[in-house]
Amino acid sequence: MIHDSIINPEKIVTLPIGFRDILSPHADAEAKMIDVIMSIAISHGYMRVKPTLVEFENTLFNGPGLAISEQVFRLIDPISQHMIGLRADMTTQAARIASTIMIDAPRPVRLCYAGEVLLTTTNQLNPERELVQIGAELIGNSTADADAEVILLAIESLHTVGVKSISLDIMIPALVPLVLADMRLPAEIFSAVRQAINQKDIATVERLANSKSSVLVGLLKAFGPCEEAMRALSELELPDKARDFLVRPAEVIKLITNFEPNLSITVDPAENRGFEYHTGIAFSLFARGGRNEIGRGGRYQSDKDPKSTATGFTIYLERVLQILPKHQQTPTVYIPYGTPREQSMALRTRGQITIAGLTPVVDNYAEAKRMGCKSILLNGQTIDLSQY
Amino acid sequence: MIHDSIINPEKIVTLPIGFRDILSPHADAEAKMIDVIMSIAISHGYMRVKPTLVEFENTLFNGPGLAISEQVFRLIDPISQHMIGLRADMTTQAARIASTIMIDAPRPVRLCYAGEVLLTTTNQLNPERELVQIGAELIGNSTADADAEVILLAIESLHTVGVKSISLDIMIPALVPLVLADMRLPAEIFSAVRQAINQKDIATVERLANSKSSVLVGLLKAFGPCEEAMRALSELELPDKARDFLVRPAEVIKLITNFEPNLSITVDPAENRGFEYHTGIAFSLFARGGRNEIGRGGRYQSDKDPKSTATGFTIYLERVLQILPKHQQTPTVYIPYGTPREQSMALRTRGQITIAGLTPVVDNYAEAKRMGCKSILLNGQTIDLSQY
């Protein structure tokens, strides 16, 4: 098998920025991870769907899809002469499937999926434009148990693929907009305050919002381990509507800690970047100590029907693979030319990888080494090559 | 789990012609088949690669890629402002990887891959524009053993996924052009003869090629079970260069019959449609009795370097799935609200699919049935619902 040292970086062809070929063993590791996570989701009753890679603009940008319309590669379909786009997100496709072809399926509908998404833009944090999205959605149930189910499913998935210690960050994206609306700030400072909150810039919030700033500053400071954060939040003088939004996180945290008592859970009530279409609690998943989000999700409205509330998660395959131990090439066995096929087949049946010699050679040992094999099959015996 | 009867065909959203969402259990069946075929190829030393979905035109249309350039969705990359295309074939991508980033890997290089390809055009025989291509390529070895290896690998793959009786059709796409070149037909009738051969129209070939027609007619008639066909071919008065092309099919047939004595093998020496870039033998695979090709492949030149001769196969996932027994939904077990998680986990560990109740209900049996479950977990016991 090829080793990274054999890859010739000078011979890489130019691909568009953000695109790259995935080679062995990384391609195997990707496929394996997708398979494991899908199997777990399926065992919990999530039905696997494979939405189309291409859609007409009107369905692609429908509902929550509008939020990422700028990221979509668009082109004209030569058959219909209409604009089509390459999917940049599969959550919205699962929601579309649930609310159209599967509208008559009993609620809640549980769906899972894995596939490539393509983005037009790139940034320093996310340099890739072709990514694998793995996700699951629970559509048509508004309970805290549903929120907890998808979070626990994401955590079970990450544990099973080998992520050791996971931390969960819970956000309440609707909270800040509600508090701000209630404050009736003058229009000229509203967006400046909003920006300062997004940047967690307490000094600017205090200066701009003045006497009204204490609740906002309280929200910004109520960040950290879930118990302290929830207590700090409960002590804030929040408007009633905003206070209602504190009930759900508390319920969900309780349900999750029942099953995962050692999970590190933080609450970040003022954070809402990237969760613009979320209507309930949202969450991010980190490998403890890591700075990069490895998964995220939350509750959103999957279409205009108020009954179609949904909650789901996305796992970022590439980021999970980055933090796991590097996938090793499986050692291979060289099969000299003319070896009866039954002998090599017996090795493959036992999980070994065989490399068949296609021509007679003078020195089978040398040929096996040239092909990068760790052993050779001679007279029905596997001989380790490291001693030669 | 959803049943086909639950799908509401009136609510299907309009997708571009040739595109469709794949639902459960078909999406599971696809993923399973990809996994099985990749595992078999990997066990034979084929390294899995995942080429990028998008490339610049100049690499996409390089070498054998030119033959399908008309089928490629093209658009402008907003970052580079250059034309990019969505892959319509992965064979050429594997060849590109072997001859660039993997140029220093020991030859032969064995690669395998599975992924979506997108086509701009559609026809009655192939109505889909988004297809899954599964394939393997053996690059840098010109022997008959290499040809036989990929054919046997394709057959092993199809057997393992459940295709019962397979038939192999061997073609020699370079034969007709060689014979025609040797005949030095007048330019005005050359293309008409070529077309008549493609249509297997013996009468027209006889009328046009006149006294020179006997070899051409002989090629057209030498079609059928491999022994008879090879004998008929050997009796034709072929030019020496063309005669050389008969050696390889005979060798490959011998190697294949050694391992697959019961395989039905036919030879079709005059067929070359769709094999324009093939330089050696080409082949099609059929499920016996079926009319649709389920796989194909052959020998080609993977780049300009004469040493980079390659042979490989492609399996058409959708066509294989069509001839297999329909994938059944796995029965599901309803888990009433409040059941300890350990109990449902025990079922999942044993391979069962559980559907968790997210709210307390008055009648758990009715709720289990509404959710389409076949059984219910009560007091640690799984109870079959068919009697209720």
Pair type for strands A309-316 and A332-335: unpaired
Query: How far off is chain B from A237, nearest CA to CA, in Å?
Result: 32
Residues B36 and B157: beta-carbon distance below 8 Å:
yes
A91 is in an annotated binding site: yes
Pair type for strands B381-384 and A264-267: unpaired
Q: What was the pLDDT predicted at B50?
A: 98
Contacts of A74 in chain B (CB under 8 A): 75
CB atoms within 10 A of CB A18: 21
d(CA B94, CA B2): 38
Amino acid in position A215: V
Q: Give me the residue from A20, A106, A337 closest to B372, CB to CB.
A: A106
B4 contacts chain A (CB < 8 A)? no
Reported as a pLDDT band with limits 50, 70 and 90, residue B2 is very low
Does CATH place domain A4-163+281-323 in 3.30.200.20? no
Please state the rounded mean pLDDT for residues B200-228. 90
Contact A352 B43 (CB under 8 A): yes
B133 is in an annotated binding site: yes
d(CA A85, CA B228): 53
Q: Which residues of A82-97 are buried (b: 16+ CB within 10 A; e: fewer)?
A: eebbbbbbbbbbbbbb
In order, the DSSP letters of A12-81 are: PPP--TT--PBPTTHHHHHHHHHHHHHHHHHHTTPEE-B--SEEEHHHHTSGGGGGGGGG--EEE-TTT-
Q: What was the pLDDT predicted at A303?
A: 75
B15 contacts chain A (CB < 8 A)? yes
* Non-local CB neighbours of A211 within 8 Å, separated by 6+ positions: none
Return the CATH number of the domain spanning residue range B4-174+245-323: 3.30.930.10
Q: What was the pLDDT predicted at A3?
A: 46
Tens-place pLDDT, residues A230-240: 999 999 999 99
Q: Give me the residue from B6, B19, B75 closest to A105, CB to CB.
A: B6
Tens-place pLDDT, residues A36-73: 999 999 999 999 999 999 999 988 887 777 778 889 99
Contact B49 A86 (CB under 8 A): no
Q: Which residue of B has its CA nearest to A358?
A: B145
A89 is in an annotated binding site: yes
B14 contacts chain A (CB < 8 A)? yes
A261 contacts chain B (CB < 8 A)? no
d(CA A130, CA A167): 26
CA distances to A306, A375, B59, B95, B99 from B304, rounded to whole Å, are 61, 34, 14, 11, 10
Positive or negative CA dihedral for B33, B36, B41, B46? Answer: positive
ipTM of the complex: 0.93
Radius of gyration of chain B (CA): 26
Closest CA to A112 of A45, A201, A17: A45
Contact B17 A80 (CB under 8 A): yes
Radius of gyration of chain A (CA): 26
CB pairs under 8 A between A and B: 262
Contacts of A21 in chain B (CB under 8 A): 49-52, 93, 97, 101
B107 contacts chain A (CB < 8 A)? no
Tens-place pLDDT, residues A185-229: 888 888 899 999 999 999 999 988 787 788 999 999 999 999 999
Tens-place pLDDT, residues A295-311: 999 999 877 777 789 99
Residues B98 and B137: beta-carbon distance below 8 Å:
yes
Mean pLDDT over each residue of chain B, to the nearest integer:
91
| Per-residue pLDDT at A99 exceeds 80 | yes
Q: What was the pLDDT predicted at B69?
A: 87
B331 contacts chain A (CB < 8 A)? no
Residues B314 and B135: beta-carbon distance below 8 Å:
yes
CB atoms within 10 A of CB A161: 21
Domain chopping of chain A, boundaries: 4-163+281-323, 332-384
